[in-house]
Amino acid sequence: MRLLVAICILMVGGSATAMYSPSSGVVDLTPSNFQREVLNGDAVWIVEFYAPWCGHCQRLVPEYTKAAQALSGVVKVGAVNADEHRSLGGQYGVQGFPTIKIFGLDKKKPEDFNGQRTAQGIVDVAMRAVREKVNAQLSGKKSGGGGGGGGGGSSGSPDDVIELTDSNFEKLVLKSDDFWLVEFFAPWCGHCKNLAPHWQKAATELKGKIKMGALDATVHTVMASRYGVQGYPTIKYFNKGDVGDYDGGRTASDIVAWADDRAAANLPPPEVVQITDNSVLTSACKEHPICIITVLPHILDCQSKCRNNYIEILSRLGDKYKQKMWGWVWSEAMAQPELEQALDIGGFGYPALAALNAKKMQFALLKGSFSESGINEFLRDISYGRGRTAPVRGAELPAIQGVEAWDGQDGVLPEEEDIDLSDVDLDDFDDQGHVEL
């Protein structure tokens, strides 16, 4: 059974009455000023295509007006009476009312608005479009060029989107250990056509992280029916038996951001590794944006249960901050004196902890409580770029001494060596116990 779509369908005829007053902040757009104002202008535009008789359009007026006034001086907000100016609506594939489009980085390929039809929802999408344009211009790209129509950059490779069918879906997707994003589309669907360059660009950017596929649901109806596809495009994620609806935006940057968050959420917690040689520290610090270095008390001062408790705290925090992709390492007190000296560790006793940025050769030292809450507060500040930092002494990673990996056991005091007195002649000692030469 088809879902009833809550939009007003284009009809023949209708009133030519404008829905927005001059004081609303919404610019009345027509074929005579659209090219000049929207396409040739430098501003980002949010444009509604409406029909005066459409009830949904009428109910949108107060929210759209509120958004226009909030965006005044930042983003242009316009409206086209597409019932009167049908050629303009037809140029942009308008098939229902209201249709809202964003003319941002690439005016030739406006994006469909898919957010909440509230003032806040419209403002959020508008500001995202502004950020995309500013970031693109900052990197040297210009508005109006080809590419992904708001995603910026190249359009990606079509080979990165995997063609899925009823016959290969189970093998490639359902039996895979990879995280998949799958678009169910129809070749005639206008929204699918608009999504295509973004989907392609996102697939290229996400290559190696997740897999992205596309299935023509009008041809391969078995899989489309299995997953309840009733509209186009429908996007779903598949991850080791877990299936769900994609709930992100429809631009390449939206898709990449959503996928990055999902991929990071599914990462295993990082391992807290003992520093046993140079390679451990180099891997943790030079292959990650920040490395968390902990120096734990000597095993004789903090036996296996105590040490494991500390490592478990670090592991839980590593899991909490795993999206940051930090490296996590630990050392025993005084096992790596040059490292401790480089990070000013030791003066406050043990355990101690520092966050090191190896690229900048700057570190921040935990001065508060070495507890889960105390370390979490410290790491939260680090994640926000706050906290006092100091330069690493020597301005490079210090040399690491090779040590044996901890065997997980308690520490044992070394046994005192027994002295064999069988061959000692007591006549060699004087009255005070000194050896006579």
| Catalytic (active-site) positions | 54, 57, 189, 192
Q: Edge to edge, what strands does the sheet with 161-164 contain?
A: 161-164, 211-216, 179-185, 234-239, 242-245
Token couple for 324: 């940051």
Token couple for 39: 């396409």
Token couple for 409: 């056991």
Cα angle: 362, vertex 316, 341; to 5 degrees: 30
Taking the C-alpha atoms of residue 28 and residue 22, their distance in angstroms, rounded to an integer, is: 8
Residues ≥6 apart with Cβ < 8 Å to 178? 210, 211
- Report the candidate in 41, 114, 106 with the shortest Cα–Cα distance to residue 78: 41
Taking the C-alpha atoms of residue 380 and residue 72, their distance in angstroms, rounded to an integer, is: 36
Beta strands in 387-427 (DSSP E): 390-391
Which helix (H) or strand (E) segment holds residue 257: the answer is helix 252-265
Per-residue DSSP letter, 206: T
294 burial (CB, 10 Å; 0-12 / 13-18 / 19+) is buried
Strand partners, 155: none
